[in-house]
Amino acid sequence: MNAFCILFTDTYNNSDSKISELSGRRTLASIPFGARYRLIDFMLSALVGASVSDIGIITKSNYGSLMDHIGSGKNWDLDRKNGGLKVLTPFANDTIALNDNQFDILRSVHGYIDSMLEEYCIIADANLVVNLDFKDMFAKHIANGADLTVLCRDALEKPGDMELKMDETGKVNDIMMHTGGSDAEKTVALNVFLLKKSLLCDLIDWGMTYGWKDFGKDVISKKFTELNIFGYKHDGYCELIDSLEIYLKSNLEMLDRETRAEIFKPDQPILTRIKDSVPTKYGDDAEVSNSYIADGCTINGKVENSIIFRNVKVEKGACIKNSIVMQNTIVEENASLNCVIADKNARIRGNKTLSGCDTLPLIINKGKIV
Amino acid sequence: MGIKKEMIAMLLAGGQGSRLYVLTNSRAKPAVPFGGKYRIIDFTLSNCSNSGIDTVGVLTQYKPMELNAYIGTGQPWDLDRMSGGIQVLPPYVTGDDGQWYKGTANAIYQNIQFIEQYSPKYVLVLSGDHVYKMDYKKMLDFHKEKGADVTIAVLDVPIDEASSFGIMNTNDDLSIYEFEEKPKHPKSTKASMGVYIFTWEKLRKYLIEDEETEGSSNDFGKNIIPNMLNTGEKLFAYPFDGYWKDVGTINSLWEANMDLLNPTISLNLSDPLWRIYCRHSLTTPQYVGNNATITNSMITEGCDVESIVNNSILFSDVTAEKDAEISYSVVMRNAKIGKGAKVRYAIIADDAVIEDGAIVGAPPEDYPNRDDWGIAVVGQGAVVRSGEVILPKQMLAPGHGKES
């Protein structure tokens, strides 16, 4: 596919969609997901699957864990002689005020965009859990004669969502921003766009001229009468991770075989950083059911309806239900967790009982000893 | 040519492993899967990498395709280097003198040119057939300290097993005065582990001499070591203390796998200071279903388990369905165990299919005459049909029962 990608690792639009509990010390894109992945893996894998190999990753702050995760890009086959993965750290200077919005950022990485030789460009956020087929999106973009194609999905809208009203061909003929939610499913735009590089450069200029901030909302709302904008709906599982509740729910949805089949496809695998963990050891007192577990764990307690990341230790008598336990966390003897999200390197001391609820999970911060 | 290296490693990986029968029909012994996600050769390659050896020649001969593909650029072991790195060295033909490697010593002899590119002071000769963790750097320190010409790593074995090894008889200072290959009446319990450090200058001389000797087997154990000993070179035994196993038979391969489940055995695979690296398959986490009961087992990424699993090792992407039982068994990559099937005391090779209700292997208790009992083996890609029974000791060839 003749395209490069600008991948945002945070939302940069001052929205509430940043999950501060988990992204306080990391980018949204590097939030761990599904026992061994990070959110950025889904978008990177889709890009690599469509042979997009020039990827500029925008990151501004808290990027330690992100850099650690992506490294040279080797695990995604993105350590290339030509192109490959490039981390772009936008900066403010005399002419560019960095107001934490996407247009200022795009302007500040203009040099990278100019240097790209591909005709098309993908602009994307890295907060979706999806196995996206960019080749299909591109084919539809061409077939539709579109100027801009935007990914969308049917979902219950939330405040701030942009509803796309489309004709039968998928052309956007009206839009509506919602201030309140609704009970009916609507077609809602997601922050993944496909367009020509030349149009992107024009849009950046317009954006600077008129003080636009948010790529999706400003471009679509101000240009849909002028440009051919089409919606592209992805068939299959697609979740936007924008709250703790959704985060827990979406993780636990990986326990469903059919959902897993829609995300982890053999012909377009989700790639992630390889760590040399040993296989997971189950002890004599292990009692595990309906759980998704990474390598390197030692499990000697009860685990039910849960997601367990690499190198987690569950001691004898401990009980974990409906929870997410991240890398290197230790759950000591007879401790009990229900609807808990335990971040990396935490330690839950013996005999402690912690419980949240499915719509309000309890968070244990990185490295916290409870 | 290359940058000068103090020591390079030459890894003998041509072994046929004929006593592994159906497991080595299509691959060399070092490529045999082990311990949930590894291959046997991962141990020596990881030892090299962890010991700071960055130049490794891998000598292949028997069925090298799978091994070559597995080694690739050496990246999983951090051996893809600008200078040195890993290099696969198959036997080759130049004009009229091309030939197979005639013996272990001949394999090194044929690659003198490769070795000399790096002008090494020392050469480490290894075998890719063993499971153990060892710091070759410490062994090199010992070699230098003793001013040795050859240092041979030795393991203390029980005296009643000593007659099946090459035994080193040593003086108090660990210098070797005698070497006996599989002695009937062993005088010592120091068994050679097949790990040698040679001072290259000396080894080079003996390799050339040996090559010119008519009727020589061109073997380290049979020729080179005895010749060096007879000429009065300085040979030392380097005592190794730790887990070491030659996984050359079905039983020893099964036992070594079971050792990983035994907390009293000292082979720790999860030591962050001495990792065992391997080439990973692209797969997902493991899913453990509502019907699963798993105890004392090791399970790898990509598995989907709904069955009973006890005292077993499951490699990546194994599917084990409801009501199946897997006990005291090793199930390799991408095998499928159907509903209600029983797999006990068995090795199931990669891509094999055990259909619903089939039975493979049996516990030793069921066989009062122990000679009738043994590990059952299902070869790569073989299919055991519903209702079929594979008895202990029985072996199915790769692809057996598969519809063509």
CATH code of the domain containing A7:
3.90.550.10
Contact A278 B294 (CB under 8 A): no
**Domain-ending residue, one of A231, A263, A295:** A263
The CATH number given to whatever domain includes residue A291 is 2.160.10.10
- One DSSP character per residue, B200-211 reads HHHHHHHHHHHH
Bridge partners for B55 per DSSP: B85
Cα torsion A361, A362, A364, A365: sign: positive
**β-strand partners of A114:** none
**Per-residue model confidence as pLDDT tens for chain B (404 residues):** 568 999 999 999 988 888 898 999 889 999 999 999 999 999 999 999 999 999 999 999 888 889 999 999 999 999 999 889 999 998 877 666 667 888 999 999 999 999 999 999 999 999 999 999 999 999 999 999 999 999 999 999 999 889 989 999 999 999 999 999 889 999 999 999 999 999 999 999 999 999 999 999 999 989 999 999 999 999 999 999 999 999 989 999 999 999 999 989 888 898 889 999 999 888 999 999 999 999 999 999 999 999 999 999 999 999 999 999 999 999 999 999 999 999 999 999 999 999 999 999 999 999 999 899 999 999 999 999 999 999 999 999 999 988 76
Do A280 and B290 make contact, defined as CB atoms within 8 angstroms?
A: no
Kindly indicate the confidence band of residue A160, based on its pLDDT and cuts at 50, 70 and 90.
confident
Domain C-terminal end among A195, A229, A263: A263
Q: Give the Cα separation of A90 and A56 in Å (integer).
A: 11
Residue A271 belongs to some domain of the structure: no
- pLDDT for the residue B94: 67
Question: Coil, strand, or helix at residue B69?
Answer: helix
Residue A226 CA from chain centroid, whole number: 31
Q: Parallel, antiparallel, or unpaired for β B342-344 and B325-327?
A: parallel
CB spacing of A293 vs B282 below 8 angstroms? no
**Whole-number CA gyration radius for chain B:** 22
Q: Are residues A101 and A66 in the same domain?
A: yes
Token reading at A226: 């002028």
Four-residue CA torsion sign, B389, B391, B394, B398: positive
pLDDT in the model for residue B100 = 82
B286 contacts in A (CB within 8 Å)? Answer: 280, 292-295
Nearest CA in chain A to B292: A289
Q: Which of B58, B32, B35 is nearest to B45 (CA)?
A: B58
Cα–Cα distance for residue pair A24/A40, rounded to 1 Å:
17
pLDDT value of residue A94: 52
Are A292 and A357 found together in one domain?
A: yes
* Same domain assignment for residues A87 and A45: yes
- Residues from chain A that touch B295, judged by Cβ atoms under 8 A, are 282-286
Residues A22 and A161 in one domain: yes
Tell whether A284 lies on the interface with B, counting CB pairs under 8 A.
yes
Q: Estimate the share of chain A in helix, then strand, then coil, as percent rounded to the nearest 5.
A: 25, 30, 45
H or E element that contains A120: strand A120-125
Residue of A nearest to B38 (CA): A278
A249 lies in the same domain as A317: no
Q: Any chain B CB within 8 A of the CB of A281?
A: yes
Best residue of A281, A310, A320 to probe chain B, by most B CBs closer than 10 Å: A281
Confidence tier at A60 by pLDDT (50, 70, 90): confident
Q: Is A268 contained in some domain? A: no
CB-based contact A43:A128 (threshold 8 Å): yes
pTM over 0.90: yes
If we measure between CA atoms, which residue out of A305, A306, A302 comes closest to residue A287? A302
**B279 CA to chain A: closest CA distance, Å?**
9
Task: Count residue pairs from A and B with Cβ separation < 8 A.
Answer: 91
Same domain assignment for residues A291 and A246 = no
Residues A223 and A340 in one domain: no
Count of structural domains, chain A: 2
Residue B191 corresponds to which tokens in the numbers above? 């068994």
Cβ neighbours of B269 (radius 10 Å): 22
Contacts of B292 in chain A (CB under 8 A): 288-289
Q: Which residue of A has its CA nearest to B278?
A: A276
First to last CA, chain B: 51
Q: Would the CB atoms of B294 and A282 count as touching at under 8 Å?
A: yes
The whole-angstrom separation of Cα B213 and Cα B124 is: 24
Q: Which residue has the tokens 């082979």?
A: B267
Computed on alpha carbons and rounded to an integer, the radius of gyration of chain A in Å comes to: 21
Question: How far, in whole angstroms, is CA A350 from its chain's centroid?
Answer: 34
User: Which residues on B lie below 8 Å from A286 (Cβ)?
Assistant: 294-295
Asked if residue A273 is part of any domain, the answer here is no
Picking from B287, B292, B295, the residue whose alpha carbon sits closest to that of residue B311 is B295
Residue A99 has pLDDT above 70, yes or no: no
A110-153 pLDDT, tens per residue? Answer: 889 999 999 999 999 999 999 999 999 999 999 999 999 999 99
- pLDDT-derived band at A184 (thresholds 50, 70, 90) equals confident
Residue range(s) defining the domain that contains residue A315: 281-364
**Pairwise CB contact (< 8 Å): A280 & B300:** yes
Same domain as A320, residue A249: no
Confidence category of residue A16, pLDDT binned at 50, 70, 90: low
Instruction: Give the pair of three-digit tokens for residue B48.
Output: 């090299």
Residue A340 located in a structural domain: yes
Region A266-270: what's the mean pLDDT?
Answer: 94
Nearest-CA distance from A220 to chain B in Å?
Answer: 37
Q: Say if A272 falls within a structural domain.
A: no
Residue A269 lies in a domain: no
Chain B residues with CB under 8 Å of A292 CB are 285-288
CB-CB under 8 Å, B283 with A269: yes
Residue labelled with tokens 């989700």: A270
* A111 and A225 housed in the same domain: yes
Contact across the interface for A36 and B270, Cβ inside 8 Å: no
Any idea what DSSP says for residue B334?
A: T
**Both A80 and A165 in a single domain?**
yes
**Domain finish residue from A229, A263, A297:** A263
Q: Which of A36, A74, A283 shows the shortest C-beta gap to B285? A: A36
Interchain pair A255, B270: CB under 8 A: no
Chain B residues with CB-CB distance to A under 8 A?
35-37, 75, 261, 269-270, 275-278, 280, 282-301, 304, 309, 313-314
Residue A102 falls within a domain, yes or no? yes
Q: Residues A279-319: pLDDT tens digits?
A: 999 999 999 999 999 999 999 999 999 999 999 999 999 99
Q: A102 pLDDT band (50/70/90 cuts)? A: confident
Report phi then psi at B213, rounded to 5: -85, 120
Q: A143 and A237 share a domain?
A: yes
C-alpha closest to that of A128 among A6, A9, A294, A273: A9
- Least CB–CB distance from A279: residue in B36, B277, B295: B36
Interface probe with A: pick from B80, B280, B301, B316, most Cβ of A within 10 Å? B301
Question: Which chain A residues have a beta carbon less than 8 Å from that of B314?
Answer: 279
- How many whole angstroms separate alpha carbon A33 and alpha carbon A247? 8
Distance CA(B13)–CA(B9), nearest Å, equals: 12
The residues pairing with A124 across neighbouring beta strands, listed in sequence order, are A7, A192
For CA atoms A304, A126, A166, A169, give the dihedral sign: negative
Flag whether residue A265 sits within 8 Å of chain B, measured between CB atoms: no
Residue A276 forms part of a structural domain: no
Task: Name the A residues in 179-218 with CB < 8 Å from any B CB.
Answer: none
Same domain, A254 and A285: no
For residue A23, which of A33, A44, A346 has the smallest C-alpha distance? A33
Mean pLDDT to the nearest integer, A159-170: 90
B309 exposure class (CB count in 10 Å sphere: 0-12, 13-18, 19+): buried
